[in-house]
C-alpha cells in the first residue's frame, strides 16, 4: 500500500484537507477534504472521508494550536462541506489496505483523538464538535473526542456508527468505548444505535446522550459562537503570551539511517532492529521559562520530543519489519535534570505545561508501539530524568556493571538517575507513572526507589532496586545484548505484540487503555477475519451491490 | 473437531483425569491425566496436558467441593505424575482445532480458573497449588489461579510460560494478567520469564514472585500439609453441616430442542437462533434455609441455575451457528422474589452463599458468551429478581405494552420487578451489578430505578425508567421482534462478538474483565494469524522439527 514512505512533517500552508481560522480565543478547524488528495492512489476521499494523510494534518493542526496559539481557548471542529460533517475513514482505502496498515492507521487516529481530549483536559483548549451535517463512523468518533457535541437539527443530519451493519467491523477509533464510558449511553441503546446504519438525529440523539444538543439551522451559527465563547471562558490560557512556532524539523533519512539534531537511528534490516540514540542537551537550561519559550522549538526538551515523536511515527509506519528498537542515550545527566527542573518549577506556565504534556503523549505513543523496546545503558549514557523514561518504557533494560575494561578502563561507570519528573507528570495511559506501573503491587519497592531520587545509580544498585532488568559486566555484555536482540527477532511478531500489550499496562484501566487494549484488540481480530477482510467479506464487498458472505459460526 | 456433542454433565465416579481425596478440612485434587482419554481422537494427553474433557472434570470437581463438602476449607491441587505438575493445554489438540474451538476452550478454562479464585475469595475454600514437578504454560496458569503456590525445589522443576517462544501464541488462560496484576511480577522480569521456554525454578522463582515458596523434596509432604492446614484455619465454613449432593441433572436433548425441568430451548437452525424459556418456581420457598438445603438440588434457585449453566455450555460449545439467544420466562414473579428473599435473608449461611455465588458465576458466563442476547417480556412472564438478571444481561429487551388484544385481551399486562437481589450480590466481572453497569455515569437513572424496588413495572414505566429497551404494543410486537432477530442474523458474527464484548462492560475493569477483554482479544487475534495457525505457523510446526515461518512485519 505505502510504496513511498509516509511523511508526518506537514505545515498549515500545505494542508490539503483542513482550514484553520482564528477569531480571538476561538479557533476553527474546518474539515474540507480534497477528494483527489489521498495519500496513496486508488481511492477518492468523498464526503469528507479521511485517510492517514487527512489525519496527519489534523494531528499537526492540534499540536500547533497548543504551541503556536497561547491565545486560543476553544477549538471548533466543523465541516466545510454541505450536509456532511465527516463520513469517517475511507472505505475503499480500508478495503484495499493490508492488515498492518489498517491497524497502524487506527492507532494513529486514536492517538490524535486522545490528543484532542488531552488538549481539552490539560491545555485549556476545549474542543467543540459543531456537527453541521451527517457524522458517520469515524466522523462521529471525531465528534466523540470533543468535549461538547452540537448536531444540526434539520430532519436529515444524524450521527451514526454504521461500521457493524455496513462493513462488518467495529467503530474502532474509540467509538464503542466513548459511547459507553464517556457519553454514558445506556448499553442497550448503544447496541441498537450501533446496528442502525442510518443513525440517530434530532431530539432522540440528545435523549440518548449521543450528542449534547440539537440546534436548528437558523440558530446554528450564533449558537456555535455562543458555546465556543462559553467554553473559552473556562480556560486558564494566558493573556498576551507569544506563541512558540513549531519550525520545520530538520531530518535526514535514507534506507539505513534517520538523523535529527538530538536523535538518530540506524536501521538494521538484516537483524530486524533499529539502534536509536538520543543525545542530552549540550548546555545549561535557560535562566527561566520565558527565555525557554524564546528558544522555542530549539529548547532541548521540546526539540528532542519532536524528534522522538517523528521517529516513532516514521518507524511505525514505514519500517514494519524492524521489530526491535534498542535505545541508547549520551550526554550529561545533570543537564537533563536541570532542564526537567526548569519545567517542573514552571508548572503554572503555559509553555512548560505544553512541553511536559507533549513529552507525556510521545512516551505514551511509545507504550502502544508494537515493537520490542530494549534500553542499553553504557558508560557515557544519559538515562536521567526525562530520558530515563525511555528505559522505564522498555520491555527490558541492560546496564553495564563496571566499565569496558578493554575499551575505556578509565570511564565513569554507567549510571541512571531518577528525577522528580519520573514521579509525576509523565503518566502512562493507565494513569500511573512508569515507575508506579513498574512497582504495581510492590509498595516497598516503589518507596525504596523513591528514596534514591537524584542519586547516580550504578548497575548493581539499579538492578537491586529493580530499576533495570539485568546488570552484566563487560565480559558478558556483548553476548547478552546480542542474544536478547537475536532471540527477539526469532519470535512470532504477533505473539510479541500481544505479550507487550498486556505486560506494559499492569494495574488500573482507563478509557485510553480500554481503547488500545480491549477495543483495538477486538478490532484487530475482526480486521483479520474473512467476514471482514476476505474476498467475500463485508469490507471488500461494500459498494459493489453484492452482499458479504459470512461464516455464521460465532467465535 | 467436535463431531459428537460435548457433554458437560460428569460425576466423580467417572472421572478419567482427576482423583479427589479428603482429609478432614483439606481436599486434594490430584491431576493424573489419562493419556488415552482425550475428548476427541487425534492426540495423546501426555505429561498431564489437558483438553476440554480434562477441564470439564476439574470444573465439576470444584463445584462439588463447594456444594457437597461444607467441611472442606482448603483444596490442594497437585499432580499424580512424577516430575511433572501439568504441561498445559495439549498442543496437538490446539494445532488441530479450528479457531472457534480454541477460543471456546480458552473461555471455559478461564471461567474454571476464575471459579477457583471465586471459591477462595467467597467460599472459604482456599486453593493451594502444590507444584510437585514442572508446571508449564496452562499448567502454571492453573497454579496462578490458586491463592498460594509452592514449587518443589529439586534443581529441575520450574514454572514456565513457553507459549510465546515455542508456539507463537500467548499464555491466554489468564497467565499474562495474573503474572502482572495478581502476582505483581515486575514487567521486565515478566517479559523475560515469558520468553524463556525452560522457565524459572528454585529461589529465583520466589524472588521474582512467580511462586510463594520453593520447598525441598524431603520437606515437601509435610510442608504442603502444614500450609493446607494453615489456609484451612482461615476459613469460616461451618462445622457439622451436611453437604448438598449435586444429583444428576435431568435433560433431554436432540437436534432441535433441549429440555430440563425449568429451562427449555428450541433450536431454530434456519433462523440461527435459540428460543430459551425459563420457568419460575411452582411453590413457595421452604420455611428456612436449612429446609432449602434438605431440598438440595431440587431447591429452585439451585436447580434453575444448574440448568442454565449446562444450557449455556452446551449451546456455546455445540451450536456455534445459533448466534442469537432469545430469553423468555414464565411463572409467578412473587415466588421468584420469595426465593430470592430467603437467600438474601440467610446471608451467613454457607448453602445460601453457595447458591448466590453460583448464580452470579452463571450469569457472568452469560455476559462473556459470544451470542447476541435478547429478552422478550410478555404477559405471563416472570422477569423478577433473579430472573430479571436475564433481561439486564441482554443486549436488548422488548416488553409488550398492554396485552395481546386478539389472543388474550383479559391477561395481566407484562411486568418486570426489581428486587433486592438486583442491587447487590450478582455482580458482573467488572465488579458492578448489571443495574449499576446499565446506569454507569447516570446516577439519577440508577436512583430512580432503585426507588421502584418491588413494584410490578409495566412496559411504559419500565421503558421510561430505562430498564427495558423498547415497549411496542401488540400491533407492532411480532414485527419488531422478527426484525430484531432477523437483522441480528444478517450481521457479521465476528463484529457482533466484538461489539458485545465492548458494550457489555462499561465502567471499571478488574483482573477478570482484563482476562476476557484485553488478554483474550489479543489471543484470539493471534490464534487467527498465519504465524500461529497457518500451515507453517508455530502451533502447527511444534514438534515436527521444522521451524515456524513468520511474517516479520510487526502489526
The whole-angstrom separation of Cα A414 and Cα B127 is 45
- Do residue A518 and residue B517 have CB atoms under 8 angstroms apart? yes
Q: Which residue, among B144, B179, B492, would best test binding to A if mutated, counting the most A CBs under 10 Å from its CB?
A: B492
- Do residue A191 and residue B395 have CB atoms under 8 angstroms apart? yes
Q: Which residue of B has its CA nearest to A397?
A: B188
- Do residue A169 and residue B495 have CB atoms under 8 angstroms apart? yes
**Who among A187, A495, A522 is closest to B504 (CB)?**
A187
- Residue B3: what pLDDT? 60
Q: Rounded to a whole number, what is the distance in Å from the CA of B115 to chain A's nearest CA?
A: 22
Q: Rounded to a whole number, what is the distance in Å from the CA of B119 to chain A's nearest CA?
A: 23
Q: Which residue of B has its CA nearest to A516?
A: B518
B75 in Cβ contact with B499 (< 8 Å)? no
Handedness of CA B64, B67, B69, B75 (dihedral sign): positive
- Do residue B498 and residue A523 have CB atoms under 8 angstroms apart? yes
The whole-angstrom separation of Cα B2 and Cα A554 is 15
Alpha carbons within 13 A on the beta-carbon side of A452: 20
- Residue A2: what pLDDT? 42
Q: Which residue, among B268, B494, B496, would best test binding to A if mutated, counting the most A CBs under 10 Å from its CB?
A: B494
- Do residue B531 and residue A191 have CB atoms under 8 angstroms apart? no
- Do residue B553 and residue A493 have CB atoms under 8 angstroms apart? yes
**Who among B191, B321, B395 is closest to A395 (CB)?**
B191
Comparing CA positions, the residue from B471, B469, B436 lying closest to residue B450 is B436
A84 in Cβ contact with A131 (< 8 Å)? no
Residue written as grid cell 504495581: A440
Count A/B contacts: CB-CB distance under 8 Å.
279
Q: Rounded to a whole number, what is the distance in Å from the CA of B197 to chain A's nearest CA?
A: 12
Alpha carbons within 13 A on the beta-carbon side of A366: 32
- Do residue A442 and residue B524 have CB atoms under 8 angstroms apart? no
- Tell me, what DSSP letter sits at residue A328? E
Locate all alpha helices (DSSP H) within B123-200, ordered by sequence.
138-144, 175-181, 187-193
A507 in Cβ contact with B185 (< 8 Å)? no
- Do residue B506 and residue A395 have CB atoms under 8 angstroms apart? no
> How confident is the prediction along chain B (555 residues), in pLDDT tens digits per residue?
446 899 999 999 999 999 999 999 999 999 999 999 999 999 999 999 999 999 999 999 999 999 999 999 999 999 999 999 999 999 999 999 999 999 999 999 999 999 999 999 999 999 999 999 999 999 999 999 999 999 999 999 999 999 999 999 999 999 999 999 999 999 999 999 999 999 999 999 999 999 999 999 999 999 999 999 999 999 999 999 999 999 999 999 999 999 999 999 999 999 999 999 999 999 999 999 999 999 999 999 999 999 999 999 999 999 999 999 999 999 999 999 999 999 999 989 999 999 999 999 999 999 999 999 999 999 999 999 999 999 999 999 999 999 999 999 999 999 999 999 999 999 999 999 999 999 999 999 999 999 999 999 999 999 999 999 999 999 999 999 999 999 999 999 999 999 999 999 999 999 999 999 999 999 999 999 999 999 999 999 998 999 999 999 999
Q: Rounded to a whole number, what is the distance in Å from the CA of B172 to chain A's nearest CA?
A: 10
* Cross-strand pairs, B128: B76, B148
Q: Which residue of A has its CA nearest to B532?
A: A492
* Cross-strand pairs, A216: A153
The whole-angstrom separation of Cα B265 and Cα B221 is 49
- A40-55 per-position pLDDT tens digit: 999 999 999 999 999 9
Catalogue the E-assigned strands of A308-438: 324-330, 372-377, 396-399, 415-417
Task: Mark the ranges of chain A whose per-residue pLDDT is less than 70.
Answer: 1-3
**Who among A170, A499, A514 is closest to B176 (CB)?**
A499
Chain A residues within an 8 Å CB radius of B188? 394-397, 438, 469
- Tell me, what DSSP letter sits at residue A165? I
- Residue A76: what pLDDT? 98
- Residue A296: what pLDDT? 98
Ramachandran category for residue A47: left, alpha or beta (phi over 0 → left; psi -120 to 50 → alpha)? left
The whole-angstrom separation of Cα B283 and Cα B350 is 23
- Do residue A320 and residue B553 have CB atoms under 8 angstroms apart? yes
Chain A residues within an 8 Å CB radius of B517? 514, 517-518, 521
The whole-angstrom separation of Cα B55 and Cα B525 is 23
The whole-angstrom separation of Cα B93 and Cα B91 is 5
Q: Which residue, among B522, B529, B531, B536, would best test binding to A if mutated, counting the most A CBs under 10 Å from its CB?
A: B522
Amino acid at each position: 500500500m505505502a510504496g513511498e514512505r509516509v511523511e508526518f512533517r506537514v505545515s498549515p500552508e500545505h494542508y490539503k484537507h483542513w482550514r484553520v481560522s482564528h477569531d480571538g480565543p476561538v479557533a476553527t478547524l474546518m474539515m474540507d477534504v480534497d477528494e483527489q488528495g489521498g495519500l496513496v492512489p486508488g481511492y477518492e476521499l468523498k464526503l469528507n472521508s479521511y485517510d492517514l494523510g487527512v489525519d496527519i494534518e489534523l494531528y499537526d493542526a492540534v499540536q500547533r494550536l497548543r504551541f503556536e496559539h497561547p491565545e486560543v481557548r476553544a477549538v471548533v471542529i466543523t465541516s466545510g462541506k454541505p450536509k456532511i460533517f465527516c463520513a469517517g475513514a475511507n472505505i475503499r482505502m480500508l478495503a484495499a489496505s493490508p492488515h498492518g496498515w489498517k491497524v497502524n492507521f487506527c492507532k494513529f487516529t486514536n492517538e490524535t483523538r486522545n490528543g484532542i481530549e488531552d488538549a481539552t483536559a490539560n491545555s485549556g483548549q476545549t474542543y467543540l464538535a459543531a456537527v453541521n451535517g451527517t457524522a458517520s463512523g469515524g466522523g462521529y468518533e471525531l465528534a466523540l473526542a470533543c468535549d461538547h457535541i452540537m448536531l444540526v437539527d434539520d430532519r436529515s443530519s444524524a450521527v451514526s456508527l454504521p461500521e457493524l451493519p455496513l462493513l462488518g467491523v467495529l467503530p474502532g477509533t474509540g467509538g464503542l468505548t466513548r459511547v459507553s464510558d464517556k457519553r454514558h449511553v445506556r448499553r442497550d441503546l448503544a447496541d441498537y444505535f450501533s446496528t442502525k446504519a442510518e443513525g440517530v438525529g434530532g431530539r432522540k440523539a440528545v435523549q440518548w446522550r449521543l450528542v449534547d444538543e440539537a440546534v436548528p439551522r437558523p440558530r446554528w451559527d450564533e449558537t456555535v459562537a455562543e458555546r465556543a465563547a462559553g467554553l473559552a471562558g473556562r480556560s486558564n490560557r494566558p493573556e498576551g503570551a507569544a506563541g512558540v512556532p513549531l519550525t520545520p524539523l530538520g531530518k535526514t533519512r535514507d534506507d539505513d539511517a534517520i538523523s535529527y539534531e538530538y536523535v538518530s537511528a540506524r536501521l538494521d534490516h538484516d537483524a530486524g532492529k533499529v539502534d536509536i540514540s538520543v543525545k542530552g542537551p549540550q548546555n545549561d537550561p535557560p535562566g527561566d521559562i520565558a527565555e525557554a519559550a524564546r528558544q522555542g522549538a530549539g529548547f532541548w526538551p521540546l526539540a528532542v520530543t519532536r524528534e522522538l515523536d517523528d521517529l516513532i511515527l516514521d518507524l511505525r509506519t514505514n519500517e514494519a519489519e524492524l521489530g526491535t528498537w534498542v535505545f541508547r542515550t549520551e550526554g550529561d545527566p545533570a543537564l537533563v535534570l536541570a532542564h526537567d527542573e526548569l519545567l517542573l518549577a514552571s508548572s503554572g506556565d503555559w509553555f512548560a505545561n505544553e512541553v511536559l504534556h507533549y513529552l507525556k503523549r510521545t512516551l505514551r505513543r511509545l507504550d502502544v508501539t508494537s515493537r520490542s523496546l530494549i534500553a542499553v545503558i553504557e558508560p557515557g549514557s544519559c538515562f536521567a530524568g526525562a530520558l530515563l523514561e525511555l528505559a522505564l518504557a522498555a520491555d527490558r533494560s541492560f546496564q553495564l556493571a563496571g566499565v569496558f575494561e578493554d575499551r575505556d578502563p578509565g570511564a565513569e561507570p554507567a549510571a541512571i538517575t531518577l528525577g522528580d519528573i519520573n514521579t509525576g507528570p509523565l503518566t502512562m495511559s493507565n494513569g500511573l507513572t512508569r515507575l508506579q506501573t513498574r512497582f504495581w503491587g510492590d509498595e516497598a519497592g516503589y518507596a525504596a526507589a523513591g528514596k534514591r531520587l537524584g542519586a547516580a545509580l550504578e548497575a548493581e544498585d539499579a538492578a537491586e532496586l529493580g530499576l533495570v532488568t539485568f546488570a552484566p559486566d563487560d565480559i558478558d555484555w556483548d553476548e547478552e545484548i546480542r542474544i536478547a536482540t537475536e532471540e527477539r527477532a526469532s519470535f512470532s511478531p504477533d505473539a510479541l505484540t500481544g505479550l507487550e500489550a498486556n505486560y506494559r499496562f499492569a494495574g488500573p484501566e482507563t478509557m485510553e487503555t480500554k481503547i488500545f487494549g480491549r477495543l483495538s484488540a477486538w478490532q484487530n481480530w475482526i480486521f483479520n477475519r474473512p467476514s471482514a477482510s476476505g474476498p467475500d467479506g463485508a469490507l471488500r464487498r461494500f459498494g459493489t451491490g453484492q452482499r458479504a458472505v459470512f461464516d455464521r459460526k460465532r467465535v
